[in-house]
Amino acid sequence: MRPLLIAATSFLCLAWAGAAHAQQVEPPQVVRTVETKQTEPIAAPSPPPPDAVLPEVAPIIEDEEFEKAIPPISAEDDAELDRPLESIADFEKRQAAEAAKGVKPAAEGSAEATVEAQPPQVDGVPVPALADGDTVEVIGDAPISDVELAAPLPPLENFDVEPVQFAEADDDKDNVSVAYTVKVNGLNAADDSTDVDLADLFGDLSALYDGDGKADNAAMIRARLTADGELMHRILASEGYYDAVVDTRIDRSEREEGQQDQQDQQGQRRSITAVIDVKPGKRYTLADIIINAAPTVPPSLIADNFPLAVGEPIVAQRIQGAEAAIALKLPQEGYPFGKVGQRDILLDGATGDGVYTLPVEIGKRSRFGGIETTGDLAFDAEHVEVLARFKRGDLYDSRMVDDLRQALVATGLFATVAAEPQPTGESAGDDTEYVTMLVTQQAGPPRTLAASAGYGTGEGIRLEGSWTHRNLFPPEGALTFRGVLGTQEQGIGATLRRSNAGRRDRTMELVTEVTRSNYDAFNAITGRVGVRVSYDSTPIWQKKFTYAYGAELIATREDDYDFTTGARSYDFYTIFGLTGQVGMDRTDSLLDPTKGFRIASLIQPEGSLAGSFSPYARLRTDVSGYYPVTDSIVVAGRVRVGSILGAARERLAPSRRFYAGGGGSVRGFGYQELGPKDPNNDPIGGRSVAEAAFETRYRFGNFGVVGFVDAGQVYRSSAPTFQNLRFGAGIGARYYTNFGPMRFDIATPIGRKPGEARVSVYVSIGQAF
């Protein structure tokens, strides 16, 4: 019977982490690493201090259950257990003697039979001795095939020693959670050496921080900690720290007196700390930059647009930006088919140097050729040529292609549209070839319904709706029917509009409309036919210079106050006039400017066709400026001056005179309220006008607040005297949308006179100016 040996053994569980491999710069790139391994002596672990407090460990099974599981011991076994053990020296002598005699070692006193040992053979050939010289062994030497097993162990201080996690009894409470805190050590050195706030970047992406310090259990914390350790590796590698060592562990804090009861009431376990220890190591730098590319025109095209330099750290964002700069510049300089290949960085772990290699295919240098279209066409290739800002033979420039693509989108006629270069192989001279621009069209719905609404004190409510077919007369021939319904204005009209008429951004319009107006200044029923050619700004292209010219014929029946009779009476006016307008715009936005200035001048020579022709001219100039005090505060100002030359006020139709007051003029007063008035205190208009406005605009997010002061007056004379100016002041709110700000202003007149409203309200789209 073999002796039964019972021994109590204690284990110390150690975990270690190997040195981290070099991380790849995001996105992944080919990175090869040259490393030099060193062997360090391993220090023996120090025993725990005598006063160390070991954690209490609950027994795995109860003693009673353990005793029941042990089989009964017979008298023979009991005698065998009482026999004293032989010494280790006697045991080794007996084993050696039995091995020399060819006897299989057996326990002392056993009845095991000895077996003569014979050298093993394979096909009759004796097997050679093993590594230690023995031909026969109980367990042979296993071959070492894993390099990591042969590598020396890292120093003891790099071991990650963690306490054993014991299963806890199920908690009957429903909302059981583990509170934790996060601590990052050793990141400051790397953080101070970079242009990026690494701690802030890690905090934004961290799973631990995203959990707000609570988890369902310790396993969830461990999973988050592991993910954050990998995240820290990637962040450091992206800044050139490829040899960084990131260790993670969980520290349990000691309970404070009374904390147990409080946590039990909240359904929580004890708080723990997730610790991330960082050793950044050396930061790799670029020792050499090699760009494999064919010669370009000019020869320094790639070098001049590649911002990396030898000696700077290997930063992922810098490398990606440099490669993007080449990919962007080549198509702008005549290389539409240039491609940037896969980078390769060779790292030397001993020196911290990196050799950067980048292959670039420049493709054939090209010039613009013809234009072709395909797909469901909204218009043909001939009209596409009108939109293009390039002509055949121009050096290829991707910026011109992007501009053409935007112009196609701006027509509003496509569901999808694309413009791409196609090689032709046709030589264009000067070692270049022509490329064809292929425009793929997918026509969209051409009809549009639109509506707008506004309100102003003195103007009342105004609703406007329209129906448009944008391509009824191709190319880009639109027909629009428009209707206005308001408390003081009603009307219908039709407009035939040709966009990009023979030239990019040039518009031709033919307008006919009938309106009925009911204002304090006059009542009128007016018919108008006009033609206009314009070169205006659009939401996509804000032009520095604009112009417009045209002609109109007006037939209107209006009432006016007759000072000779002391009553209002109607008269009929037939007016023919020309229109000319020029503008300069140096602002940064069409609907919401924050800096720059604008100037617009209008001249309208016209005359009455009733009886003898009576010519006169209407002149008006508007100037506005914008200055950003801070990123959120803008100061804006506006001045308007107008004059009518060549006719007395009484010979002018009331609708052709100048008025002031209202949301687009002087806020705080009713619409057309300022200026000369009749005995009934109704405005009668004048031959000149002067206005000014000053605003301070404060924006926060999508909202804004505006404080403003306006001033203005209308005069009988043909030139403004700038006397008796009236002032209005108020405050406004703005809500900024993707198509412009929504405006809500409240204003009051300064020095209010009898009959003037205390408060005026204005609601519309866009800034006041």
C-alpha–C-alpha distance, residues 674 and 751, integer Å: 13
pLDDT at 141: 52
Report which residue type is found at 415: A
How sure is the predictor about 263, in pLDDT bands with cuts at 50, 70 and 90? very low
Q: What is the C-alpha to C-alpha distance for residues 762 and 746, in angstroms, rounded to an integer?
A: 7
pTM score, whole prediction: 0.67
Tokens linked to 445 = 């719905």
The answer, yes or no, to whether residue 17 has pLDDT greater than 50, is no
Q: Which residues contact 479 (CB under 8 A, 6 or more apart)?
A: 468, 469, 472, 473, 494, 495, 496, 497
pLDDT, average across residues 518-532: 94
pLDDT range class, residue 172, cuts 50, 70, 90? very low
Compute the distance between CA of residue 379 and CA of residue 382 in angstroms, rounded to an integer: 8
522 closest CA partner among 659, 647, 644? 659
Region of 352 on the Ramachandran plot (φ > 0 left; ψ -120 to 50 alpha; else beta): left
Give me the amino acid identity at 746. Answer: I
CA dist 229 and 240 (Å) reads: 17
Average pLDDT in the 147-151 region? 64
560-609 per-position pLDDT tens digit = 988 888 888 999 999 999 999 999 999 988 888 999 999 999 999 999 88
- Rounded to the nearest angstrom, the gap between the alpha carbon of residue 761 and the centroid of all alpha carbons in its chain is 37
64-86 pLDDT, tens digit per residue, is: 777 777 776 665 666 666 677 77
Residue type, 571: D
The tens digit of pLDDT for each residue in 628-682 reads: 999 999 999 999 999 999 998 888 999 999 999 988 899 999 889 999 999 888 9
C-alpha–C-alpha distance, residues 414 and 548, integer Å:
28
Encoded tokens for 166? 């014991």
**Gap between the terminal Cα atoms of the chain:** 108
In this structure, which amino acid lies at residue 386? Answer: V
Q: pLDDT at position 18, please?
A: 31
Residue 747 confidence (pLDDT) above 50: yes
**Which is it for the CA torsion 311, 312, 313, 318, positive or negative?**
negative
Give the pLDDT score at 566.
84
Q: What is the pLDDT of residues 353-393, one digit of tens each?
A: 999 999 999 999 999 999 999 999 999 999 999 999 999 99
Place of tokens 């292959």: 359
- Residue 163 structure tokens: 């306490």
Ramachandran class of 225: left when φ > 0, alpha when ψ lies in -120 to 50, beta otherwise: alpha
SS3 at position 582: strand
Distance CA 749, CA 121 (A): 118
DSSP-derived 3-state class of residue 559: strand
Kindly report whether the peptide bond that precedes residue 475 is cis, defined as omega within 30 degrees of 0.
yes
**Dist. CA 564–CA 175, nearest whole Å:** 91
